[in-house]
């Protein structure tokens, strides 16, 4: 199909604002409360034009079927409450914790550099929902501890310089993080002839009242309940909102151990051992979200719908992978 762009495209405008309060609530303990917000106007959008006029049964441009149309009429915003607590504990221990409650809202998910096409091209506002990358809850805690062994420390402080070279100066650290699941946009494949305007991009099913969207229990084998949705009647759009469900949450703990071995005044070796996701917690990706009508008795599962078939991070390294151990030796000079 042909493509067209608006002649009234505008530059995307992003505004940010923040307000924070910091207070020492106890000795060596600092608490911070902050509000953070952003607003992005005139973001890129993608839609489809030249739909059938239900009154006449014809298209405005009879020589074409559908027309992909790009403009800058989408909008996004984020509001976040951020809290942090840091405490410098004696004996070389520093701990901190951060929690963020936020909500990202937009009227079109990102797809191919543009926002995804709306279900009803005449109602962009109907797409207003949680953004594709919305993380409602995020928590992280970290700690750094200078281990109390060796000369000048609490334990083994009378060892020889040679022994101290190997047992002193070790530092242990760790990060624990957890976050809620990201939105899932449940879609359905429909014939163009079944839609009022015969433009069948981004279609969603109907929601069955009183039936949970999630399987019970929620497992990788079946995360979403296929019987919570139904096929819209011909000539109507589905009533399920965009990004109505949520995927799996994630958490992991990443400890590290390091020490610097001095060779001379300016030269030294740093040894570091790191573990990512040390407890090897399964980090599941998003389930398949394309729904189809169950067959037979109406209780069978559409092929792969609601099934998680991949991990959160398919790369060999990075957050969300299976347990990973990493050792390094670095010369500094």
**247-270 per-position pLDDT tens digit:** 999 999 999 999 999 999 899 999
pLDDT, residue 33, reads 98
Cα dihedral 212, 292, 54, 64 in deg (nearest 10): 140
pLDDT at residue 318 in the model: 65
Band (pLDDT 50/70/90 cuts) for residue 112 is very low
DSSP label at residue 58: -
**Which pLDDT band, with edges at 50, 70 and 90, does 208 fall under?**
very high
pTM surpassing 0.75? yes
CB burial readout 172-208, b (16+ within 10 A) else e: bbbeebebbbbbbbbbbebeeeebebbbbbbbbbbbe
Quote the CA–CA distance of 176 and 249 in Å, as a whole number.
14
215-224, 271-280, 298-307, range with the lowest pLDDT: 298-307
pLDDT at 101 over 60: yes
Six-digit token string for 276? 């990512």
Is 296's pLDDT higher than 60? Answer: no
pLDDT at position 109, please? 65
Min mean pLDDT across 123-127, 197-201, 298-302 is at 298-302
| 26-47 exposure pattern, b = at least 16 Cβ within 10 A, e = fewer | eeeeeeeeeebeeebbbbbbbb
Report pLDDT for 303: 72
Q: In whole angstroms, what is the distance from residue 127 CA to residue 96 CA? A: 39
**pLDDT tops 70 at residue 314:** no
Average pLDDT, whole number, for the chain? 90
| CB-CB contact of 124 with 177 (8 Å) | no
Whether the predicted pLDDT of 171 surpasses 80: yes
| 17 bridge partner residues | 37
Task: Name the helix (H) or strand (E) containing 306.
Answer: none
Residue 285: which pLDDT band, with cuts at 50, 70 and 90? very high
At 110 the pLDDT is: 59
Quickly state the pLDDT bin for 149 (edges 50, 70, 90): very high
> Which is nearest to 172 in space by CA: 255, 270, 89, 260?
255
pLDDT at residue 32 tops 90: yes
**Rounded CA separation 151/313 (Å):** 43
């Amino acid at each position: 199909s042909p493509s067209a762009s608006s002649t009234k495209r505008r530059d995307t405008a992003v505004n940010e604002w923040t307000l924070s309060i910091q207070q020492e609530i106890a000795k060596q303990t600092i608490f911070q409360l902050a509000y953070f917000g952003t607003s992005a106007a005139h973001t890129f959008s993608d839609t489809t034009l030249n739909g059938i006029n239900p009154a006449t049964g014809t298209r405005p441009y009879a020589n074409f079927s559908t027309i992909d149309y790009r403009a800058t009429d989408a909008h996004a915003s984020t509001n976040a409450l951020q809290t942090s607590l840091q405490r410098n504990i004696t004996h070389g221990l520093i701990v901190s914790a951060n929690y963020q409650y936020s909500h990202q809202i937009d009227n079109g998910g990102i797809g191919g550099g543009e926002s995804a096409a709306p279900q009803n091209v005449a109602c962009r506002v109907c797409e207003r929902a949680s953004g594709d990358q919305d993380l409602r809850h995020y928590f992280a805690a970290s700690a750094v501890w200078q281990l109390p062994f060796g000369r000048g420390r609490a334990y083994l402080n009378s060892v020889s310089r040679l022994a101290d070279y190997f047992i002193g100066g070790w530092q242990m650290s760790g990060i624990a993080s957890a976050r809620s699941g990201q939105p899932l946009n449940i879609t359905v494949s429909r014939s163009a002839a079944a839609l009022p305007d015969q433009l069948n991009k981004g279609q969603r099913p109907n929601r069955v009242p009183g039936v949970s969207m999630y399987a019970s229990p929620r497992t990788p084998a079946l995360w979403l309940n296929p019987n919570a949705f139904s096929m819209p009647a011909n000539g109507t759009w589905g009533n399920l909102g965009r990004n109505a469900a949520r995927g799996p949450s994630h958490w992991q703990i990443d400890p590290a151990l390091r020490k610097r071995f001095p060779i001379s005044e300016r030269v030294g070796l740093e040894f570091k051992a790191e573990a990512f996701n040390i407890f090897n917690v399964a980090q599941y990706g998003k389930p398949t979200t394309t729904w189809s009508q169950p067959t037979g008795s109406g209780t069978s599962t559409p092929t792969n719908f609601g099934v998680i078939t991949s991990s959160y991070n398919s790369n060999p390294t990075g957050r969300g992978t299976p347990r990973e151990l990493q050792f390094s030796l670095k010369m500094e000079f």
